[in-house]
Amino acid sequence: MKPVIGLEIHIQLKTQTKMFCSCANAWEAEPNSKTCPICLGLPGAIPTINKLAVDLVVKTSQALNCAINNHSFFERKNYFYPDLPKGFQISQHRKPIGINGYLELGNAKKINITDVHLEEDTGKSMHTDEGTLLDFNKCGIPLMEIVSGPELESAEEAVEYSKKIYQLVRWLEVSECDMEKGQMRLELNISLRPEGSTDLPSYKVEVKNINSFKFLKNAIDYEIKRQTEIFDKGEKPTQENRGFDDVKGKTVSQREKEEAHDYRYFPEPDLPPLRLETKPLTEILPQEAFKKLLEKFKLPMAMAEQLTREKSVYQFFEKLIEEGMGPVGAGNIIINKPSVLQEDPKIINQKSKIKNQNLIKDDTIINNIVEKVLASNPKVVADYKAGKEETVKFLMGQVMKESKGQADPQLASQKLQELLKQ
């Protein structure tokens, strides 16, 4: 049996005010102090749309290769829960902002993005022995939901997908995605189907409450095991919602009071529909930046990966290149001394030039150093050849150590790549 996995990722947007009112989108504050009649759902209060939130979702949708619904609009998702003050959540259903996009994994596999839509967050409920305490500061914070198709087939793929979403959303400055603060939340849909089958399974298990990549992997591993055991008994797992208990490392059934949710979606009458005019994205995306580092600057993959984790890092790299630094040298400086981002690129370049003049550039010498390092580290070389490309960093470090920091990093790196290919 193979897993069939889809992910729904909820992301709180980086705005100053909430989605439908001008209360502050604040993290820590006295309970219920960042509330108004609108986000408290008091009688008579009606919403207004935060333009920035819409723009951020449009930007993300475009970055995920989605088609944009120019006539997108909001709808009411009706259900009862104490942390949902209006008794409905303003969300999207029939015409979400972005649809039919995709995200490419490292192995070039495309994961479909079914839709990217915009909604409001609910309040926070804390369960105590005497009852439930409710704080509505969080209620109404703009929430972007990215829904993937069921193309993920393993915990590794799921984690990679989530990490790429994390990277992309942070890169675009759409959210900080701080998972400890609940700014990015993962919801897992998982079922099993026989090897070779391409039909969608007739059931799916939803697991909520996952707030780290590690827990995502744990939850998936647990579910695969749990569902496999059920199949082995000749039965079929029930379609249900489960929660992830990170302490026990297992998923737990949540006996919902309501059977199937009938959300009774209808267009939100208080809000006229949107008219989205989309201009093409001008900023470079992490995947494009990564490609550029590999192809144009010929950087090793591990270095390219590190330099494209954060946009600020990549932008600083580009600044150093503008100053005339060699790409490998620039890359190394950034990686070895992250605080360098605070410094002036001109000065860095000058310092580096000075250092450069004393560098060993002789091909024979460098060749000898590299050969020596490779010979002394057979296991690492074997690992590299087996696919563990990050090990090149270690080898590079050894080369620099061996040369007492004097080897020209660009030439040394090239030589290393060359000899490793043999």
Interface contacts to other proteins, rule CB under 8 A: 15-17, 21-24, 30-37, 40-54, 76, 78, 80, 82, 85-88, 125-127, 130-136, 255, 257-258, 262, 264-267, 269-275
Nearer to other proteins, 11 or 395 (CB): 11
Q: CB 124 → other proteins: shortest distance, Å?
A: 9
Nearer to other proteins, 205 or 274 (CB): 274
**Beta strand spans in 300-414 (E):** none
Dist CA 227 CA 217 (whole Å) = 15
Q: CB 99 → other proteins: shortest distance, Å?
A: 19
Q: Of 234, 185, 189, nearest to 207 (Cα)?
A: 189
Nearer to other proteins, 50 or 413 (CB): 50
Dist CA 176 CA 54 (whole Å) = 17
Q: Of 178, 214, 203, 138, nearest to 4 (Cα)?
A: 203
Q: CB 93 → other proteins: shortest distance, Å?
A: 11
Nearer to other proteins, 33 or 315 (CB): 33
Dist CA 194 CA 175 (whole Å) = 38
Q: CB 73 → other proteins: shortest distance, Å?
A: 8
Strands of the 184-193 sheet, one edge to the other? 67-68, 98-104, 110-120, 142-148, 2-12, 184-193, 205-210, 240-245, 250-253
- CB 209 within 8 Å of CB 243: yes
- Take residue 94 and report the two structure tokens written for it: 């029939």
Q: CB 23 → other proteins: shortest distance, Å?
A: 5
Q: Of 152, 149, 117, 120, nearest to 136 (Cα)?
A: 120
- Take residue 206 and report the two structure tokens written for it: 């939803």
Q: CB 366 → other proteins: shortest distance, Å?
A: 54
- CB 100 within 8 Å of CB 117: no
Nearer to other proteins, 149 or 243 (CB): 243
Backbone angles phi and psi of 259, in degrees to 5: -70, -140
- CB 220 within 8 Å of CB 245: no
Q: CB 15 → other proteins: shortest distance, Å?
A: 5
Nearer to other proteins, 108 or 260 (CB): 260
How many CB atoms neighbour CB 281 within 10 A? 12
Q: CB 48 → other proteins: shortest distance, Å?
A: 5
Compute and round to an integer the Cα radius of gyration of the chain: 26
Q: Is the dihedral of CA 208, 107, 300, 165 positive or negative?
A: negative
Nearer to other proteins, 125 or 241 (CB): 125
Nearer to other proteins, 39 or 190 (CB): 39
Nearer to other proteins, 72 or 162 (CB): 72
Q: CB 243 → other proteins: shortest distance, Å?
A: 12
Place of tokens 């989205």: 276
Q: CB 56 → other proteins: shortest distance, Å?
A: 10
Residue 76 pairs in a beta bridge with 90, 266
How many CB atoms neighbour CB 317 within 10 A? 27
Nearer to other proteins, 167 or 251 (CB): 251
- Take residue 380 and report the two structure tokens written for it: 């690492």
Nearer to other proteins, 74 or 161 (CB): 74
Contacts of 263 (CB under 8 A, 6+ apart): 77, 78, 79, 93
Q: CB 87 → other proteins: shortest distance, Å?
A: 2
